[in-house]
Each structure stands twice: as C-alpha cells, then as structure tokens.
Structure 1
Amino acid sequence: MMIKNLIQFFQKKYTVFCLLLFCSVLAISFSVQYYEAKEKEIKYIKKDQSVEIKKRIEKGNAFLNAGKSDSAFLYFNKAQLICNPKENYVDDYVYSLTNIADIQHRNGDFYEAETTLTKTFPYLEKTSKPKFAINVYSLMANNYSRTYDNENGLLYQKKALKKAVSTFRKAAILSDIGFIYLQQERYKEAIDLLEPLTKRKIVDKIEPKYTDIQRSAILYNLGMCYLRIGNHKELALNCFNESLELTLKTKDDYELIANYFALYSFYKTYNNPKLKKIYAQKAYDCAKKVKASTYQINMLANLIEADNAENSQKHWETYIRMVDSTLISRKKAQNQFANIIYDSNKDKAENLELKNKKVENELQLERQKNRSTISYVIITFSVFLVLFLSLYMSSKGKKEKIEAINESELRISKKLHDELANDVYETLSFATSNDMKNFDNKEKLLSNLDQIYYKARNISKENSLIKTNEEYLPALKEMISGYKTPSVNILLNGFDSLDWNKLDRSKKIILYRVLQELFENMKKHSNASLVSFTIKINDKNLMATYIDNGDWTKNNRLILKNGLQNVENRIKTINGTITFVNNLEKGFKASFNFPI
C-alpha cells in the first residue's frame, strides 16, 4: 500500500522526482567535500549519554524499591528513550524495558507488557550479561501464563532455561515449568521434575536470602501436584508445612499468601471446615497487609466459601466493593502510564528538533568555509528534499498504523461489550437481589462467574498471536475444531494436501482470521448442523469454499451481511475476491480466492 502511494505521489509530482534525481547525482559529486562536515555531525550526535542513563536508571530502581511504580516507570522510560541500542547502551536499554514490562505486568496490563518485551528481542544476543535474556524470557513466560496461554509460557521458560548458567537459576526456572505443568494438569510430569529439586538444598550464592524463598516455592508446587493427583495426603501436607516454615523465616507476607492458600486447599479437599476457614482467613489477612488487590479478591472469595452464611454475606459486600475499586485503579494506572509515555516521546521529539537545528547551523558554517555557494545550495536542497519525502512517508505510515490499532481496539471493545457487559450486569443484579445464604443461589452465582470467565478467555484467544511456522496447520485445525459440537459436524477438505510453505505470513494470518469470522457467525446466528470447507490451489491462486446448512432468516441475513464486512475487507487487502450466497432453503455459501 505504501509503495502504491509512493508511485502515485511521484506521478503527480514528476517534476520534483526528476529534480531529486538530478540533485542526487550532484550530491554524489560533492561527497568528498561533504565528508568533513558529516564527521563533525556524527561526532556531535554520538555524545556520551552513559552518565545520564545511569542516573535515570538509579532513580527508577530507588522508586521501585520504595513501591512507587508510577515514578519508577517514568524514569525507566526516560532512560530507554536516550539509549541507541543499535550502536551502544544495549544493557541499559534491555534492563529499562524489562523493568517497564514488569511494572505493566504487575498492574495487569499484560498485552502492553508483551509489546514492551518484544522490543528487547533483537538485542538479547548483544547484551553482556546472560541474566538479561533470562529475565526477559521468564517475564514473557509469566505474562503468557497470566493470560492462560500456557503453551507459549512453557516455550519461553524453556528459552530461559537454555540461557541459565547457575544451578540455582536453573532450579528456579524448572520450578516455574513445574507450575505450568500443574496448570495444564500434567501432574506426573510436574512431580518428576520437582521431586529431584527437593532432595538437596540449592543455594543462591549471589543473594542467599532467596535460597529459602525458592525452596519454599518448589515445595508449594510439588505439594499442589500431590494434592491434585490424589492419594498423597501425607506427602502433600509435609510439603505445605515445610514450605510454610521456610517462608515464616523470611517474614515475607507476600509469599505467605500462597502458603496459606495451599493449606486452605488441602483442608478443603480433606473436609476439615475449621482449619479450612482458619487458613482462608490468614491468606486474606496477608493479602490485605501487602495491599495485593488481585490476591485480596481471590482470597476473599475463598473465605466466602469457607465461612458461615452470616459472615459470607458481609464478605460478599466487601468483595463487590473491592472488584469495582480494583477495576478503576487499574484503569487509572494504565492511563497514567500511557500519559507518561506520550509526554516522554513529546519531550524527546522536542529535544531532537533542537539538536537537529544546532547541527544544521554548525554544518552550514562548515560548508560556507569549505565549498562554494553553488555546491552548498545544491546539497542543502537535496538533503531537505530527501528529508521531506522521508517525513511524508513516515508520517503516512504512522497514521495508518494508528488507524489500524484504533480499529482493532474498537473491535475488541465492541466484542467485550456485546458478549460480557450484559452477563456481568445480570450477575451483579442477581447477587444484589437474591439471598446469598441460599446454597442454590450461591451455586448459580458461581456458575455465572464461570461463564463470564470462559467468555473472557475465548476473547483473549481470538486476539492472541497466530503462529505462522510449521505449527500453523495444527493451530488452524485446533481453532476450527473449537466450533465442532455434538450437534454441529464440520468437514474439511484439502488441508493436508496443501503446501502451506507457499503462503507468506500475512496471508496465513488473514486466512486464519477469515475462517474464524465465518465459523463465529455460524455459531452465533445459524442453527447449522453441517459445515463444509474446501481449499485448493489452482493456477497460482488459493481457492476456498465455505458452505453450511443453517437456517438464515431475514433478520439473520442482515446480521450476516454486517458481520462479514471484516471478511470482505481482509480478502481485499491481499488482492482477493469473495462472493456470499445465502438462501432461506439451502443455507449459506461463501467462496473466495487470492493469489499465492
């Protein structure tokens, strides 16, 4: 699209293009005379920033240790803005971005944290310390785990494990991998991984205080595996008690939340209401003490379940207030961080503008001394013309990128509103208008919350990254199989015979999203019992046909027309064509093709 715009620009401004070409030839002839002035410009631009970067990072660390994440975020962002990782300051750049991503992660802004961490990837091999890459991969893994993408979480933990050198760091990563296995219900694999780590004490030689904390975490993960797999009551309790004993030594209330939660889970499983309530209360008290809002909400939910009916009602009222307060606080934090980035980028642009003006003035003086008036005019004109074209195309590209981001955000926002807003409202109304002491009402409330959770997770999956390597076909089939139910049969033809390597990355992504849109519309607006999708390559074109036997009434056809506008737009962006045919008796048919 940008190349097409550039061609149109030159067609309209062909005189400017010819002049640019002429000036470029002249500029080459004067390159020798220009060399000295250019050297001074480069020397000026490459001013040593190491002292200023170090100062900003130290302030960021100080604020972070003091619990002032907003101020820490500001200084880490200021530090990374004056780094030029392509030439120097790679360690400082990666370190600053890792801390920014960690702050975003703690505030629940997982997708922004992922974007920030991605910026470090081109420079991880250039850092002087392997721990920087390990920190990035581990944080990326935890980020994926928090968004229920355990496969990617496991992938990045294994990347971190390859980089780890010390025995302690390897043990910490293996413990995190064991936790992912626990989340995936792969208990046997987790136990096989964690049990050897408990046989000996693995010491952190750099920070000895972390030795007990890490062993406590390993025992916690192992104990939860024993608890989930069943028939290991004594082993699970021993792990939980030893883990709690180690954490009590550290006097770390944040880590104690997990220990008390583990014992709550144990006594809930083995039906000891008294101890279950005690440990649920202790977990909640620790979460309150460290002001961890997410854990407060989760532990309070456990306390509601464990306490008697009268107290549960009081806890429930507190729970509702905390949920509302947490949502508002997170929104404010995200807005605040967005404003910090915007203001910092604005300051950076203004500083660069002042520096460029100063460099320009120095260059003009140097040119006046070393070349004639004619050569100066020609070279200056050429430079400004190239700069103008670069700024024009750069500005256009940024505008298109911003528009694409806004469109994506609006689409996700609309989906959240359409699918979740009504459910959340009805659930809150049910909770406030019914007696939560009643067991059936409580069960119905929990069922409604489960439905909201699974809908939110599905929306997250729909907007997640799409793999375009050799795992593309299995991922595509897995996505389609998600729409298959006992009442809906899906037939796929031509998938395994197609050479997917012939499709470039962008077309794979568009094909994935098109199929996702088609099957989503079938699921929502049709009572189809049979769906067929055929795909083949014919004369360097990919041909695809979608057919279902749904009952597309007049209203549903209108919904279909509006809902598939995205499908048509996506196909057109890769120079493809698409045809929709819907009939009251025969169902719905869509055919599309695009060049490979």
Structure 2
Amino acid sequence: MKYFYLLVFVWVFLFSCSRNKAVKEKEAENPFYDKAFEYREKKIPDSAFFYFNKAKELFLQNKDGFSAGKCLVNMGIISTDKGDYFGSQEILLEALRYFDKNKKEHFIYLGSNFHELGVASSELKNYSQAIVFYNQSLKYAQDSASLLVTKNSIANAYRRIGDYKNSLSIFQSILAQKTDSTEFARALSNFAFTKWQQNPNYRAKAELLKALSIREEEHDLWGQNASYSHLADYYTQTQPDTALFYAHKMYWVAKKIKSPDDQLESLQKLVKLSPARETKQYFEIYQNLDDSLQTSRNAAKNQFALIRYETEKNKAENLVLQKDNAGKRYQIIILIFGIVLVIVVGFLWYKKRKQRLELEAKNAIRESQLKTSKRVHDVVANGLYRVMTEFENQQEINKDHMLDRIEDLYEKSRDISYEKPELPDQDFQKKISDLLASFATETTKIRIAGNTPKLWKKVNSKAKSEVEHIIQELMVNMKKHSGANNVVIRFEDQQDQVIIYYTDNGIGISEGTGFKNGLTNTGNRIEAIHGAITFDNTAEKGLKIKISFPIS
C-alpha cells in the first residue's frame, strides 16, 4: 500500500507551521523563497521547485546555508511526491551539508529530511536503509505527531521485510499511548493487518472494521483508502465477494484523493476478483493509467534535472565573468591592447564553452529519452502485447496467472527509468518455451527444437536477456504482420556458438510494414552480443532468418 503521500502532507504541514516567521524575516532579501511557498500551496509543484532552487542560490550568495538547506528539503519533498526517488535522495543528502546537528532550531528540518530519505528508500524497496533513515529522524522529532508518523513508517518497513516481531512491537507501543482517533485508527489497522500477515489464521476482522469505522467518522479519506486495501486483502481467500466490495471502495476513494498509485493497486485487486466479463475492462483502465503515470513521472524527472543543470551552468558562467573582471583590473596597465585581447579571447572561449554545455545537455536528455523509449518498447509494449495475446487465445481465464503477469509488468514499468540489474534466470529453457507458447493459437502452430537446459548453461546472463527480447520481437512482428500459420524455431550449439533458425510461412518482408523497424531493433541487440543475423532471400514464400552469437 503506497501510504507515503499522507506522510508527506504531515511533514509539509509541519513546515508550514514553522516557516511563517522565517518567511517574514527573509522576504525582503529573498523574494524567491516566498514565491516558492505560494506555488507550493497552489499545488503547482514544478514552479515551486524552480523558485526554491532560485531561492537556494540567492541564500548561498548571502552565505545563509541554513535557509539554503530548507529550500533543498522542500525540493526533495517535491521530487519524492512526483516519483523522482533517486533525484530526491540526491537533493536531500545535499541538504544535510547545511544543517547543524547541535543546533535545536535545525532539528525540525533534520527530522523532516531524514524522514523523507526514508520515504524515498521505501519507494525504491530498500526497506533496510529506510529504517536507518527513519531512526535518524526520530532523534530530531519535535512533537508527538511527528514521532508517531515516523514510528508508523518504521513499523511498516519492518513488515515489508518480514520482520513481524519488530513491526508488531512498534504498533503495540503506539496503541498503548494516548493518541488522537486518527493515529489510533492507523496503528490499529496496521497492527491487525500485520498480525494477520504473520499468522493467516488470526481473526483481524473486528479490529480492521473498528479502524475503518473511526476513519469514516473522522472523514479521513486517506485512512479509509488504507483500510479498504487491508480488508480487500484479508477477505480475498475466504470471501472473494466481500473482497471485491472493498476493492471497489478503494478504487472510488483513490480516485477521489487523486492518488494514481493507489488506483493502480485497487485495479490490480479488481482484475483478480472481478467476474471474467469485467476483467478486460479493468485491465485496459490499468494499462492506460500506468502508461500516463510513467510518462508524467519521466517528464517531471527530466524537468527537475534540467532546472538544476541550468543553475549549475549559470554559476559556472558567473565565475567566468568574475574571473574576466578581475583580470581586466590587473591588465589596465597594458592599455587598450591588453583589454581588447582579454575580451576577445574570453568571449570566444565563453561562447564555445556555452555551446558545448548546451549540446551536451541536449544530447544527454535525448539519450535518456531514447533509452526510456526503447525500454518502454521492450518491457511494456511487447510485454503487454504478449499478455493480450494470451488473453485473447484462452477460452478460460486463469486470474491468478494473469495477476502474476500484471504484477511483474507493473514492477518493471514502475522502475523503467532506473537501471536495475536483472536477476540470473535459473530455468531459461522453460522461459523461452513459455514465451514461444504464448503466441501459439489454434490457427498458428509454433514448433520448437533444440531448446534444452544444456544449450543455455554456458550462455551468460546478458546474452540470455538480449536473446529473450530478440525472440519476443520476432514473435510480436510475426503475429502482427506475417499472416503465418506455421512457425519453426530451432536452436543449435555449433563450435562455441549458439545458432537460432527462425522460419515461417507468412508473407515475408514487404515494403511499408512496421516489421522492418522491429528487425532494426533486433539487429542492434544482436550486435550488442557480438552476433550476426542473416536473411534467406531465396525462399519462395515466408521468412527464414539465421541468428548466431558466441557463447562466451
């Protein structure tokens, strides 16, 4: 359950309470700071980020590191809220340089900064590191509200890594304290849900419903969203109809609070629990929402990176100008000749450097966009096409299998902007067999030969990954364009090389089809593993391809 938005709002509220005096003191000397808060309160995060960044630079010019640190904390919160977790961690770690752990007036910002580092680590599923950051945040908690929020975060992180003993101990300590109804309901629901995860026979119904009742009385929509998620999971195995009811409630509330991550989670539950006639509808909603969310987050990440890049570039340009001015003062004694010479040389160097920096920035952004586009094509587009193909060709839908596939696709698309190493595949032969079998239909026969564990045993992980995408690309294009009803894939081990023969009886390669673009992408992958691809143009009908690459 993605519950971090509520925690972010709590910390933002604490910031608002403590900032009024600081804003009045700094307004005259740094108008950007107040403007940043105005945009943040109007929920225009990109403009708020921009002005916090400008305010930070002005504070640094005035040698006010403490205020610059506060700007960085706010920038980190905005980055986390927009899904740029790596960028958020970088900004928040930079902010620590400007706070003094021995000054009490810095404690609220240190607590918030460490807490937000924990949130970003949790979203990146590094729960052990998140616990370290949360514990650091506890040292600087200034009131019971922030203390309870952080303890709840630590307990949830322990639950994520399966340490139910520590998780339950913290939730019990919260319940034992005198807290308001909102905090009590949150701790009670989390405690019951964790207890049930530890022991599936535990009857958590009464506690979960009590927490929900409190949240409904308090009109706590974020809390209701969490309760509906817990109840849907709790009833999934024993009372699927009740679980479906709560999944619908969660989806409704998630839309009302405008939380796309919680909408995706509720849609996953609806796909699993709904009747077969409704499953496809929810899957299509899920697909469109996930695509929109990834596009939005990638755009925000690039925008924030560009804002910071422009600032650093301007700082470099200012240093150059300062250096030129200092040089001019010392060169007055050589009169006009020396002055003209310095101006000409400095201008040409500055212009060339500026052009180079701009070109490097554009190339970096373009390269990032191309890489993201390629990964979207490989992971999301072809993956979704494969899932849809299986869906169309199955008379009866295996919901558990489909949910597993959707969950895997969700995890891959969620982290699509980040470079993550693939885990070694212990049964690659079966993976290839399942991939090819997923494209077989009553009218399209797919025959496989030579796909044995022995063949893949000597092939490294990178080559396996590329081979999987190559085969998937061939099958997707066969399905879309060839019209083939008979496909043969044969694998051979010949003199320290793997040979893949692909044959179909379709229309072959015709002009103007999208298949040629797919083959271009396939060729790039083969080149990456030092392989070769050959097309047999002598065939009267269909398509024959030979692919080879070295084993090591």
| Cα shift readout 1:312-336 (whole Å, capped 9, x = no counterpart) | 4544444344334434444554455
Question: 2:395 aligned with 1:452, yes or no?
Answer: no
| Cα shift readout 1:299-354 (whole Å, capped 9, x = no counterpart) | 2332343344444454444434433443444455445545655676777788x599
| Cα shift readout 1:543-585 (whole Å, capped 9, x = no counterpart) | xxxxxx99533679x99994368xxxxxxxxxxxxxxxxxx9x
CA distance in 2, matches of 1:458, 1:340: 23
Q: State the Cα distance separating 1:228 from its structure 2 match.
A: 0.8
2:38 paired residue number: 62
Matches within 5 A, 1:206-245: 211-230=180-199, 233-234=202-203, 236-245=204-213
CA distance in 2, matches of 1:380, 1:147: 55
Which amino acid counterpart does residue 276 of structure 1 have in structure 2? Answer: A
| Cα shift readout 1:365-399 (whole Å, capped 9, x = no counterpart) | xx69xx98369998999999999999999998998
CA distance in 2, matches of 1:112, 1:323: 21
| Cα shift readout 1:444-492 (whole Å, capped 9, x = no counterpart) | 432322342465589788548xxxxxxxxxxxxxx9xx5373899xxxx
Question: 2:153 aligned with 1:176, yes or no?
Answer: yes
1:89 paired residue number: 64
2:126 paired residue number: 149
CA contact (8 A) 2:425 2:461 kept: no
1:282 paired residue number: 249
2:220 aligned residue (228, 235, 252): 252
Q: State the Cα distance separating 1:134 from its structure 2 match.
A: 2.1
1:265 paired residue number: 233
CA contact (8 A) 2:229 2:247 kept: yes
CA gap 1:110/1:300 in 2 versus in 1, 3 angstroms: same
CA distance in 2, matches of 1:404, 1:347: 18
CA distance in 2, matches of 1:526, 1:309: 34
CA contact (8 A) 2:294 2:413 kept: no
CA distance in 2, matches of 1:455, 1:326: 14
2:268 aligned residue (297, 301, 320): 301
Which amino acid counterpart does residue 244 of structure 1 have in structure 2? Answer: L
| Cα shift readout 1:379-430 (whole Å, capped 9, x = no counterpart) | 9999999999999999989988987887677666645544554212322455
1:26 paired residue number: none
Aligned with 1:553: secondary structure? strand
* Structure 2: gaps of 5 or more residues: 1-24, 430-458, 469-493, 502-522, 531-547
CA contact (8 A) 2:272 2:400 kept: no
CA contact (8 A) 1:63 1:69 kept: yes
Which amino acid counterpart does residue 296 of structure 1 have in structure 2? Answer: Q
CA distance in 2, matches of 1:312, 1:420: 19
Question: 2:528 aligned with 1:563, yes or no?
Answer: yes
CA distance in 1, matches of 2:500, 2:279: 46
CA distance in 1, matches of 2:131, 2:43: 30
| Cα shift readout 1:79-105 (whole Å, capped 9, x = no counterpart) | 2232318x7322322222222222222
| Cα shift readout 1:192-227 (whole Å, capped 9, x = no counterpart) | 23212211124xxxxxxxx54443332232222112
CA contact (8 A) 1:114 1:143 kept: yes
Question: 2:106 aligned with 1:129, yes or no?
Answer: yes
CA gap 1:455/1:276 in 2 versus in 1, 3 angstroms: closer
Q: State the Cα distance separating 1:61 from its structure 2 match.
A: 2.4
1:159 paired residue number: 136
Of all paired residues, the percent bearing the same amino acid is: 22
CA distance in 2, matches of 1:99, 1:304: 37
CA distance in 2, matches of 1:220, 1:194: 10
Matches within 5 A, 1:313-392: 313-334=280-301, 337=304, 352=318, 360=325, 373=333
2:397 aligned residue (434, 437, 440): 440
| Cα shift readout 1:26-48 (whole Å, capped 9, x = no counterpart) | xxxxxxxxxxxxxxxxxxxxxxx
CA distance in 2, matches of 1:100, 1:345: 16
Aligned with 2:190: secondary structure? helix
Q: State the Cα distance separating 1:143 from its structure 2 match.
A: 1.3
2:383 paired residue number: 423
CA distance in 2, matches of 1:407, 1:562: 19
CA distance in 2, matches of 1:53, 1:424: 54
CA contact (8 A) 1:74 1:340 kept: yes
CA gap 1:220/1:398 in 2 versus in 1, 3 angstroms: farther
1:74 paired residue number: 50
CA distance in 1, matches of 2:83, 2:146: 26
CA distance in 1, matches of 2:551, 2:93: 41
1:99 paired residue number: 74
Q: State the Cα distance separating 1:107 from its structure 2 match.
A: 2.1
Aligned with 1:119: secondary structure? helix
CA gap 1:563/1:412 in 2 versus in 1, 3 angstroms: farther
Q: State the Cα distance separating 1:130 from its structure 2 match.
A: 1.6
CA gap 1:554/1:301 in 2 versus in 1, 3 angstroms: closer
1:205 paired residue number: none
Q: State the Cα distance separating 1:176 from its structure 2 match.
A: 0.8
Question: 2:444 aligned with 1:483, yes or no?
Answer: no
Specify which structure has the bigger relative contact order, considering alpha-carbon pairs within 8 angstroms and separated by 6 or more residues: 1
Aligned with 2:27: secondary structure? helix
CA distance in 2, matches of 1:307, 1:486: 32
CA distance in 1, matches of 2:285, 2:526: 46
CA gap 1:346/1:51 in 2 versus in 1, 3 angstroms: farther
Which amino acid counterpart does residue 563 of structure 1 have in structure 2? Answer: A
1:578 paired residue number: none
2:497 paired residue number: 552
Question: 2:462 aligned with 1:521, yes or no?
Answer: yes
Q: State the Cα distance separating 1:278 from its structure 2 match.
A: 2.8
Q: State the Cα distance separating 1:258 from its structure 2 match.
A: 0.8
- Relative to the length of structure 1, the TM-score reads 0.59
Q: State the Cα distance separating 1:182 from its structure 2 match.
A: 1.4
Which amino acid counterpart does residue 156 of structure 1 have in structure 2? Answer: F
* Structure 1: gaps of 5 or more residues: 1-48, 203-210, 465-478, 489-517, 528-548, 566-583, 590-596
